[in-house]
Amino acid sequence: MTWLGLGRITAAIPKVDAFGGLKDRPKKESSAVNYLVVGSDTREGLSKAEIKRLRVGGTEVAAGKRSDTMLLIHISKKRDKAAIISIPRDTYALIPEHTSSSGKLIPATHSKINSAYNWGGAPLLIQTFESMSGLRIDHYVEINFVGFVRMVDALGGVTICTKRAIDDPKSHLVLPAGTHTLDGIDALKYVRSRQFDGLGDLGRMKRQQQFAGAMLRKATSADVLLNPVALVNFLNSALSSVSTDPGLKQGDLLTLAKQLRSLSASNVRTLTIPLKYYNYSRNGVSASVLWDPELSAELFDRIKRDEALVDKVKAEPSATPSTVDKFNTGSAADDSCSS
């Protein structure tokens, strides 16, 4: 397929039966689109050389697969605004009744939300999130370690800025404070690091949001958009690096890419689902996080209605509007070293 006359889009997209068997799903409220993007930590299919190069350990370290990263990406019906919302993988959740891989019926049980992916793959994860949020997921996108590395490398690296030095023992990432252009492998270490600052997953999610913003800025920069070879190489790499639900076709993604070419990074909000408790233990589940019931419900209602997440308040007719940001959002245009 030729895209915008720039070159040949040749990549085929692997498919995941993400919505198979799902019933009684939330109603779709508008033409806005909700994507559930999952970064899988599966080591399956990786060669010993790739495991060594990526420094992620083999299946003896982490057998099976878990949703290492979960993002809800909401794109407005006019395609002029977007939100990237981190879903904490340690979210306390009620995993619905489901059938195991051996055919055994498993009753509904409390666990962390990433267990849904491990136990029942994309369908159970989607069912769990939809039942908790009331939002309908329109499309599912999954990327593994190697796919992420390929996408970053296809962009020629992504530039980030860190206020403090990083020396993370688990990811093996060592960076002095300041600005760095990360290749795919170091970028993977960056978005997976969570031990150096004492903030655990919450710090990691903040870095993932900052990296997503930096990657968006790079992908929509003149270096990529105005360079036909770089643009087509990135699109081919991106399409070959992900798996999607069968309803998401290559043409749909390319159409979306064209629609979003004029989307300003400042119109992309980044945030984490509001939390009430950060070390919640109940029903045999420990060290989980609990969503704030009021704020999370309001957030999901605004997403459902395709409404702004930041309010503009004008006290008097002549006053300059001020903003109220109750969800503590950032912007994909933000520089993490100046915030």
Mean pLDDT score of the chain:
86
Instruction: Place 257 in a pLDDT band, splitting at 50, 70 and 90.
Output: confident
Residue 37 to residues 2, 125, 324, Cα–Cα distance (Å): 26, 11, 28
CA torsion through residues 142, 144, 147, 152, sign: positive
Q: What is the pLDDT confidence band of residue 198, given thresholds at 50, 70 and 90?
A: confident
**pLDDT tens-place string over residues 15-58:** 999 999 999 999 998 999 999 999 887 656 566 776 676 766 55
Q: What pLDDT is attached to residue 5?
A: 46
What is the pLDDT averaged over residues 314-327?
77
CB 260 within 8 A of CB 80: no
Of 323, 215, 308, the closest CA to residue 269 belongs to 308
Q: Could you report how far apart the first and last alpha carbons of the chain are, in Å?
A: 42
Residues 6+ apart with CB under 8 A from 316: none
pTM across the whole model = 0.87
What is the mean pLDDT of the segment spanning 241-269? 82
87-96, 168-177, 256-265 — most confident range: 87-96
Give per-residue pLDDT as tens, 273-284: 999 999 999 999
Lowest mean pLDDT among 135-139, 215-219, 245-249: 215-219
Q: Which residues is 86 bridged to in the sheet?
A: 71, 272
Give the separation between CA 260 and CA 283, rounded to whole angstroms: 44
In whole angstroms, what is the distance from residue 32 CA to residue 137 CA?
Answer: 11
Stretch 95-116: mean pLDDT: 93
pLDDT tier at 64, thresholds 50, 70, 90: low
Going along the chain from its start, the domains and CATH numbers come out as: 33-331 (3.40.630.190)
pLDDT at position 45, please?
A: 57
More confident site: 158 or 239: 158
* Cβ atoms of residues 32 and 76 within 8 Å: yes
pLDDT, average across residues 65-78:
86
Question: Using an 8 Å Cβ cutoff, are 303 and 34 in contact?
Answer: yes
- Out of 1-10, 81-90, 210-219, which region has the weakest mean confidence (pLDDT)? 1-10
Query: What is the predicted pLDDT for the residue at 202?
Result: 85
pLDDT in tens, 117-157: 999 999 999 999 999 999 999 999 998 888 888 899 999 99
Question: Which pLDDT belongs to residue 8?
Answer: 63
Q: Is residue 3's pLDDT more than 50?
A: no
Residue-wise DSSP of 87-141 = --TTBEEEEPPEE-TTSPEEPPEEEETHHHHHHHHHHHHHHHHHHHH-PPP-EEE
The answer to whether residue 336 scores a pLDDT higher than 80 is: no
Q: What percent of the chain has pLDDT over 90?
A: 49
Residue 1 has pLDDT above 60, yes or no: no
Q: Which residues pair with 180 in a beta bridge?
A: 160
Model confidence at 66, in pLDDT bands (50, 70, 90)? low
Q: What integer pLDDT is reported at residue 36 of this predicted model?
A: 96
Angle at 46 between CA 45 and CA 49, to 5 degrees: 150
User: Which carries the bigger pLDDT value, residue 198 or residue 252?
Assistant: 252
Q: What is the pLDDT of residue 10?
A: 63
Angle, vertex CA 45, rays to CA 114 and CA 65, nearest 5 = 10
- Closest by CA to 145, choosing from 113, 180, 190, 181, is 190
